[in-house]
């Protein structure tokens, strides 16, 4: 690595991590609330998917540009500006809701605007983590980042469900807007105490920097293969992410849905805590493959029934498997790329790896509303065959689609396990050094 680590870097990371935790809780509240709000307003999986897409697409498409900025400018300042400006989209949405005449397209515009500026955060945040930490701290930090990320699934749904049961979506938006204050203070605190590395001044050329980021990725065959294959895996995971809430809301209320989502997300929290304690030390590729296989099996179980106990068990195991996979991916990629190039690299990595999410969000709602759900209502073409196994009803087609996505996830994971390029990443000298350092730190 080309950069000297900052003394007391882990303490500064903890401050930054706390701000990210609060931000994720607020974002999770809004994401949960809007899913319920739009479903109750239209009962259309397409409309729910449109709102999800409005939140996701700008962050994916702008990630490469955000990565270039993260390598060119003060990363902490970019994070702070992204948080502040993205809050304006939520403020406009709140005003429209208070007028009592908001439409789905207006929600999409507001969410999209907020997402555009939130795109500045991710590459800068990931690159800042590398700025602050030593190599032996990467795995532990990744586990903690997983805890912060899981808060939007663990803490936010139950809070959101309770709020919607006694109040309104407007209250959720107000809370989310207030979380920006805490996040900005945390970022500002880190920025004040952290000397910014002097940058070599040269002409800003986005296309040149993006090309350099691309070359950084393709230099390692394993990194490129891993990113592409992860994009395929993200497609299947995007199916359950966009359709699980409509499926559950079809046979229960928003309060129960929030409690259920919180319980199943405990699996992610438990795994993230274990990883943060340092249990993941070796066999990154095998752990990643195994995690995705478990995810596929439990995803299929999640979609196969309307039994809340079965959904809870399947969902818990599904969420518990994800942090192991994401940590392995994070460590393998981070160790293969120089620190001063990570902003550009992570931007492009985010774009490529999440294209699967984009495709899933585009087609999931359409497939659910116009193909699978009609096939599994009473009198549908699959009612007397598949319907005898998984049941019939308003959203049992969504259940079938989730089952198929789980099976696809298993098959794709098996292909990943056969990739020589990915397996060679684990024997890379940097990965070996990281493993030795991690063992010594334990």
SS (H, E, C) 225-267: HHHHHHHHHHHHHHHHHHHHHHHHHCCCCHHHHHHHHHHHHHH
Residue 1 confidence class, pLDDT cut points 50, 70, 90 = very low
Helix axes 284-303, 221-249, angle to 10 degrees: 20
DSSP, res 256: H
Spatial contact of 435 and 283, defined as CB atoms under 8 Å apart: no
Cβ atoms < 10 Å from Cβ of 288: 26
Question: Is the pLDDT at 225 greater than 90, yes or no?
Answer: no
Across the chain, mean pLDDT equals 80
Q: Tokens representing 300?
A: 């299929």
Say if pTM beats, i.e. exceeds, 0.75: no
State phi, psi for 202 to the nearest 5 degrees: -150, 165
C-alpha distances in Å from residue 40, one per residue of 34, 44, 282: 10, 9, 46
pLDDT tens for each residue of 344-363: 676 677 777 778 888 888 89
The tens digit of pLDDT for each residue in 262-279 reads: 888 888 778 877 887 777
Among 72, 58, 77, CA closest to 119: 58
Which residue blocks in 62-168 are alpha helix, DSSP H? 63-72, 75-99, 104-118, 121-132, 138-154, 156-166
Q: Which CATH number fits domain 9-193+204-441: 1.10.1740.10, 3.30.70.3280, 1.20.1250.20, 3.40.50.10800?
A: 1.20.1250.20
pLDDT of residue 6: 47
Spacing of C-alpha 178 from chain mean position: 22
Cβ distance 34 to 370 under 8 Å?
no
Average pLDDT over residues 176-184: 87
pLDDT digits (tens, 9 = 90+) for 295-332: 999 999 999 999 999 999 999 999 899 888 888 887 78
d(CA 85, CA 100): 24
pLDDT of residue 79: 78
Q: What is the pLDDT of residue 2?
A: 42
Domains of the chain by residue range: 9-193+204-441
Angle at 299 between CA 296 and CA 302, to 5 degrees: 155
| DSSP codes of every residue in 27-77 | HHHHHHHHHHHHHHHH--HHHHHHHHHHHHHHHHHTHHHHHHHHHHS-HHH
3-state SS, residue 138: helix
């Amino acid at each position: 690595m080309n950069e000297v680590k900052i003394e007391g870097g882990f303490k500064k990371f903890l401050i930054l991590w706390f701000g990210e935790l609060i931000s994720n809780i607020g974002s999770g509240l809004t994401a949960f609330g809007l899913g319920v709000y739009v479903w109750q307003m239209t009962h259309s999986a397409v409309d729910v998917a449109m709102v999800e897409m409005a939140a996701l697409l700008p962050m994916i498409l702008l990630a490469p540009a955000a990565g270039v900025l993260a390598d060119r400018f003060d990363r902490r300042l970019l994070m702070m500006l992204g948080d502040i400006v993205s809050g304006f989209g939520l403020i406009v949405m709140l005003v429209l809701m208070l007028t009592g005449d908001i439409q789905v397209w207006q929600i999409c515009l507001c969410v999209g605007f907020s997402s555009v500026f939130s795109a500045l955060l991710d590459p800068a945040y990931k690159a800042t983590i590398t700025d602050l930490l030593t190599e032996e701290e990467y795995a532990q930090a990744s586990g903690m980042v997983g805890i912060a990320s899981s808060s939007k699934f663990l803490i936010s749904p139950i809070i959101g469900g309770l709020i919607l049961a006694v109040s309104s979506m407007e209250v959720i938006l107000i809370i989310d807007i207030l979380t920006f204050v805490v996040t900005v203070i945390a970022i500002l605190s880190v920025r004040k105490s952290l000397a910014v590395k002097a940058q070599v001044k040269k002409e800003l050329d986005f296309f040149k920097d993006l090309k350099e980021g691309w070359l950084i990725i393709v230099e390692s065959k394993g990194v490129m293969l891993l990113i592409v294959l992860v994009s395929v895996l993200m497609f299947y995971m995007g199916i359950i992410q966009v359709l699980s809430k409509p499926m559950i809301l079809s046979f229960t209320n928003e309060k129960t849905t929030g409690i259920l989502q919180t319980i199943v997300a405990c699996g992610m929290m438990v795994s993230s805590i274990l990883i943060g304690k340092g249990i993941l030390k070796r066999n990154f590729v095998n752990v990643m493959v195994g995690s995705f296989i478990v995810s596929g099996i439990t995803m299929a179980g999640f979609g196969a029934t309307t039994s809340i106990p079965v959904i809870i068990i399947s969902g818990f195991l599904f969420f518990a498997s994800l942090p192991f996979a994401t940590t392995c991916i994070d460590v393998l990629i981070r160790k293969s790329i120089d620190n001063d190039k990570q902003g550009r690299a992570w931007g492009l990595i985010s774009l490529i790896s999440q294209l699967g999410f984009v495709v899933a969000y585009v087609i999931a709602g359409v497939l659910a509303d116009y193909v699978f759900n009609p096939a599994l209502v009473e009198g549908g073409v699959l009612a007397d065959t598949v319907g005898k196994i998984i049941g019939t009803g308003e959203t049992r087609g969504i259940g079938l689609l989730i089952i198929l996505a789980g099976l696809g996830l298993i098959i794709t994971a098996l292909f990943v396990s056969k990739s020589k390029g990915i397996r060679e990443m684990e024997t890379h000298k940097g990965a070996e050094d990281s493993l030795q350092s991690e063992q010594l730190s334990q």
